A and B are shown apart, each in its own frame.
Chain A
Amino acid sequence: MNAPRHDPSSVGAAKAQKVQFNEPLRLRGGAELPEFEIAYETYGRLNEARSNAVLVCHALNASHHVAGFYEDDPQNVGWWDNLVGPGKPLDTNRFLVVGSNYIGSCFGSTGPASLNPATGKPWGADFPVVTVEDWVEAQARLADRLGIERFAAVIGGSLGAMQALQWTLSYPERIRHSIVIAAAAKLTPQNIAFNEVARQAIMTDPDFHGGHYYERGVVPTRGLRIARMIGHITYLSGEAMSEKFGRLLRRGAPGFDFDIDFEIESYLRYQGDKFSSYFDANTYLRITKALDYFDPAADYGGDLTKALARAQAAFLVVSFKSDWRFPPARSRDIVRALLDNRRIVSYLELDAPGGHDAFLLEDPRYHTALRHYFSNIDL
């Protein structure tokens, strides 16, 4: 497969890098990580004024591999490759784009499968619960190492959007633009409920062993599989599912048994199998908790306007009408609080069919908006 190598709009071969931090990181939950590593990738170049860096924050199951492909694995294309590249909406000819993997991940940054320096064994269940605030803290240290004092923009969708928002609160002076896509300033009980079902699926898997499954050489794949299936249902809109699968029968007629009948069943099983083959159960538990705990207004009696008073950045907020996991009303909450604080904000509410996953797709209106927005950022 040589194709991507010759694609002028691809960043080309990407190189995952790691940086080690020996200063302990105090976490919101009270625990401390004595040392940690962050995996990251960069595309483009930092300009002389160091004013053109854009941080891309990833969501639940993605990583620092945002764009391009790996020399030894050309099929492994970055998760936001449709957005990031030379001449693409987030143009790497103009910006230095940084993809950073959050701590607690299973893709390179220190996480539950890493070795606990205190025991010399994998952290497993002992790896602390990390939060969006902790991730921003770690990303700020990465920015220090890369010589980035201030980001031109921080962008993310879903859980990534929570990080883009948190950046404006943790480091208001270090971010000029925050691009918050398919977001919520906090999860609803319904959302937390979905996460809890996913966690229960994992924790009740007999191979989970209280989170210490690495040393037993097993993986709670059944639990992870079901967790992913539940999640996947919520990322797609009902409409998109109908359109994609309808009530198509795999075998042409009902089997009157418990093999796969409907296409949607086949799709969910496939997604579940695929996910459970590469994702770590302990990581999944922790990111769903990070989602559940995110609520910047909590310290302000639930008043989001007060919570966002610290933010100085200009905002672009984008939501998708078919997204029922983080529906437009949740984005409007953020916009309202920003307006109350007289912040610079634009808000797009696009009638795109993709559900929550629409932020990863290439709706022309969505990408045009991002292209215009980025090109108006002064360097």
Chain B
Amino acid sequence: MQWVPQGARVLDLGCGDGSLLRSLWQERQAPGYGVEIEDQAVLACVENDVNVLQVDLESGLSLFSDGSFDCVILSETLQTIHRTELLLREMLRVGREGIVSFPNFGHWSARLQIALGRMPVSETLPYRWYETPNVHHCTITDFEDLCRRIGIRIRERLVLHDGRPVPLLANLLGSVAVYRCAKG
């Protein structure tokens, strides 16, 4: 949230019930729109008085013009998207800056569970394999590779575990990664 400047125009992709947008409006006077596909989440946004647009992220962001937002947020949504590359490009077409967060599949607990022959289940990866909405997991290293390959410049990175920054061995000890990025 501290990466969103005062009064910035924000687009939140996969905005859920709109609570992030609501607090951005209340605390930073940042006017925003959310994109959400789930009916119940969309209704919650309307109830929370948050601007919401019910469209499918998989088909890109054709509703939005180039550079129409200061900041596009992709919070814990990247791993649920089939067309990852398309969405990342679209994010930086419509926004000057992107903020992306995802659960780090490289965290030691995930590695350990895989080593023991199980799909990982944890606080940040709460779903069992047969009920998960997630389709594309990645590690911190994987994500940074992709950014390099498709020309996304990483401006800042924050790796967290239990809400606290992880100073060392990020890909092993961090369970959530947050990036601030722009077109390369």
Q: Which residues of A contact B (CB under 8 A)?
A: 316, 332, 335-336, 339-340, 342, 344-351, 365, 368-369, 372-373, 376
Whether B39 sits at the interface, judged by CB under 8 Å, is yes
Stretch of B45-53, B85-93, B112-120, B121-129 with 4 or more beta carbons under 8 angstroms from chain A: B45-53
Q: Are B43 and A369 in contact, with the CB atoms below 8 A?
A: yes
Of chain A, the residue at the smallest CB distance from B50 is A346
Q: Known A369-B43, A369-B46; judge A332-B65 contact (CB<8 A).
A: no
* Alpha-carbon separation in the docked complex, A175 to B53 (Å): 22
Contact B64 A372, beta carbon cutoff 8 Å = no
22 pairs across A/B with beta carbons < 8 Å? A316-B46, A332-B63, A335-B53, A336-B64, A339-B33, A339-B64, A339-B65, A340-B68, A342-B9, A345-B51, A346-B51, A346-B53, A347-B52, A347-B54, A348-B42, A348-B52, A349-B55, A351-B39, A365-B39, A365-B43, A376-B46, A376-B47
Given contacts A335-B63, A336-B63, A365-B39, whether A373 and B51 have CB atoms under 8 Å apart is no
The answer to whether B49 touches A376, judged by C-beta atoms less than 8 angstroms apart, is yes
Closest to B44 in A: A372
A348 in contact with B47 (CB, 8 Å): no
Q: Which of B39, B46, B53, B55 contacts A373 (CB 8 A)?
A: B46
Residues of B within 8 A of A316 (CB): 46
CB distance from A282 to the nearest CB of B (A): 40
Of A332, A344, A369, the contact of B55 (CB 8 Å cutoff): A332
CA distance A319 to B172 in the complex (A): 46
Residues of A within 8 A of B65 (CB): 339-340
CB contacts (< 8 Å) of B39 on chain A: these are: 350-351, 365
Contact A372–B46 (Cβ < 8 Å): yes
Interface residues of B (CB under 8 A from A): 9, 33, 39, 42-43, 45-47, 49, 51-55, 62-65, 68
Q: Closest CB of chain A to B182's CB: distance in Å?
A: 22
B89 to chain A, nearest CB (A): 19
Q: Which of A340, A344, A345, A348 has the most CB atoms of chain B within a 10 A radius of its CB? A: A348
Residue among B49, B64, B65 with the highest chain A CB neighbour number at 10 A: B49
| Given A340-B68, A376-B49, A349-B43 contact (CB < 8 Å) | no
Contacts of B45 in A (CB 8 A): 346
A365→B44 CA distance, assembly (Å) = 11
Cα–Cα distance between A346 and B9 once the two chains are bound (Å):
15
Neighbour of A372 across the interface among B9, B43, B62, B68, CB < 8 A = B43
Are the C-beta atoms of A347 and B46 separated by less than 8 Å?
A: no
The 10 A-B residue pairs with the shortest CB-CB distance in the complex, in nearest-first order: A372-B47, A372-B46, A347-B53, A376-B49, A349-B54, A348-B54, A346-B52, A369-B46, A365-B39, A336-B63
Q: Are A344 and B54 neighbours in the complex by a CB distance under 8 Å?
A: no
Closest CB-CB distance, B18 to chain A, in whole Å? 10
Q: Nearest-CB distance from B158 to chain A (Å)?
A: 30
The CB with the most chain A CB atoms within 10 A, among B33, B43, B65, is that of B43
Complex: how many Å from CA A347 to CA B52? Answer: 6
How far apart sit A372 and B65, CA to CA, in the bound complex (Å)?
Answer: 29
Across the two chains, which residue of chain B brings its CB closest to A347?
A: B53
Nearest-neighbour CB distance to chain B for A279, whole angstroms, equals: 35
A372 to B51, alpha carbons, bound, how many Å?
Answer: 12
Contacts of A342 in B (CB 8 A): 9
- Give the complex CA separation of A194 and B68 in angstroms: 38
Tell me the bound Cα distance from A342 to B70 in angstroms.
Answer: 13
Asked if A368 and B43 sit within 8 Å, CB to CB, the answer is: yes
A131 to B131, CA, bound (A): 53
Known: A316-B46, A340-B65, A346-B45. 19 other contacts (CB 8 A): A332-B55, A335-B63, A336-B63, A336-B64, A339-B33, A339-B65, A339-B68, A340-B68, A347-B52, A348-B42, A348-B54, A349-B54, A350-B54, A351-B39, A365-B43, A369-B43, A372-B43, A372-B47, A376-B49
| Cα-based distance from A372 to B43 in the complex (angstroms) | 8
**CA–CA, A372 to B45, complex, Å?**
9
